[in-house]
Chain A
Amino acid sequence: MGIQEQYRSEAAALLSSGEVKLVIGFGPGSTADRRRPLFARTPEEAEKLVLDPACISNLTTYLVAGGLLSDGKKVAIFLKPDGIRSLNILVSECQVKPEQVVIFGYAIENNEIRPLSGRSIGDFAEIGSKIRTATPPPAVQKEAERLEAMSPAERFEFWKEQFSKCIKCYACRQACPMCYCRRCIVDVNQPQWVSTSSHTLGNFEWNLVRAFHLAGRCAACGACDRACPVNIPLRLINYRMGKEVKEAFDYHAGESSDQKPVLASFSQDDPETFIL
């Protein structure tokens, strides 16, 4: 029995026994090589679950949507390592109770699916700790280095051009599991911190504030980047923020579920070379 079948039958069993109220996984997408989220509430629906190397989305986003977990019932979810790290962050930020989540873990390696053993978040400690030694995607790293080698003015031009494309559709926010706020700062209008006018300054503000809010909280799943309809390289800016908290505070987002949020904690010995 393949992984897909094994997870399918296990998911169906969880649903029929009433152990979980919902299974969040993948179903067939609009084309042969695309998958879309599938929400199975019955064993029959679970039979439609698909698991193959095209299942790349980070489904944790759906865990924090619409008060799904507020009834205390359990939910099963298909997660690959970045999703597990996102879940760690969500647990550490009190958005998800670990006992409410059953995990069907998998990794995609050489275009093949490999199951990850364990069903609860505590079983995946190793996935979290691996982040310390993980290397970022070479393309992202290379592009970030190219940008960093530029003069500030050139970099500014780069981002100006990128952000000027932004149509403030907030798809990045919708796709991101970390954007679970009930009211996003961009929707605050008393005061209007982020300009909503159609000029690039507002776009800049939006993208800066989102990147800042993700510092130390991004599992680098790339959901925002994929969601962006105008192809702003959001991965880059999130990568740079992740690098900063790593280097400055030895902080690795999503390493464990009892991590203290990086910006809600401090060490007296934090670096401060830039402070006069």
Chain B
Amino acid sequence: MSESFEPKIVAFVCTYCTYAGADLAGTSRLKYAPNVRIVRLPCTGRISPMFILKALQKGADSVLVSGCHPGDCHFAAGNYHARRRWTVFRALLAFTGIPEERIRFSWVSAAEGAKFADLINEITEDTKKLGPFTQYQELQKVIETQSSY
């Protein structure tokens, strides 16, 4: 891919762990790629698969979903529920040909500012290598009548 490609990464994070972890990256002045846009939710349990699809529609080249480590959920079990949903949703995306490596899942605690920064850098680098994710967005251009059956 060309040097100038700057991927767009949308991150859905819970406010208690990963959002706080990203705050810590800030207060620690850790530098990371400016490609990520964070959407704050109360808990990973609140992160609906539809959010991910909408982010892809809006041109996200990669999506990150992140929350508290197992056992650490502020809401006791929201992340366990989320983990199940992701397992299933991830299989669904893979089966329909939406590359798994574009949808990342992670546990980042409020203490893991460095992990957050590293993660964003890593995803940005990986996404640069993968190139822009236009397949999904461009479905908007495919009109039913064009196909034949």
Contact = CB atoms under 8 A, between A and B. Distances in A.
B97 A231 contact: no
Interface of A: 144, 147-148, 150, 152-161, 164-167, 193, 195, 197-201, 203-205, 208-209, 211-212, 215-216, 230-231, 237, 240-241, 244-245, 248-249, 262-268, 270-272, 274-276
Contacts of B86: 274-275
Nearest to A247: B91
Contacts of B95: 144, 147-148, 155, 237, 240
A83 to B, nearest CB: 24
B71 interface: yes
A209 B105 contact: no
Contacts of B50: 193, 205, 209
A267 B107 CA distance: 17
B98 interface: yes
29 contacts: A150-B97, A152-B99, A153-B97, A156-B96, A158-B97, A161-B147, A164-B144, A165-B147, A195-B140, A200-B139, A200-B140, A200-B143, A201-B142, A209-B50, A209-B53, A215-B92, A244-B87, A244-B88, A249-B84, A262-B84, A262-B88, A268-B71, A270-B80, A270-B84, A272-B70, A275-B83, A275-B105, A275-B107, A276-B119
B140 A201 contact: yes
Given A148-B95, A237-B96, A160 B142 contact: yes
Contact of B91 (A157, A244, A275): A244
B94 interface: yes
Interface size class of B (residues with CB under 8 A): 35 or more
Interface of B: 49-50, 53-54, 57, 70-71, 77, 80-81, 83-100, 104-107, 119, 135-137, 139-147, 149
A272 B88 CA distance: 11
A165 B137 CA distance: 18
A262 B105 CA distance: 20
- Going nearest first, the 7 A-B pairs with the smallest beta carbon separation are A156-B97, A155-B97, A201-B139, A276-B106, A266-B80, A200-B142, A244-B91
A248 B144 contact: no
Given A157-B97, A201-B137, A274-B105, 18 more contacts: A152-B100, A155-B97, A160-B142, A164-B142, A195-B140, A198-B143, A198-B144, A199-B142, A201-B139, A215-B92, A216-B88, A237-B92, A240-B92, A248-B91, A265-B84, A268-B71, A268-B80, A274-B87
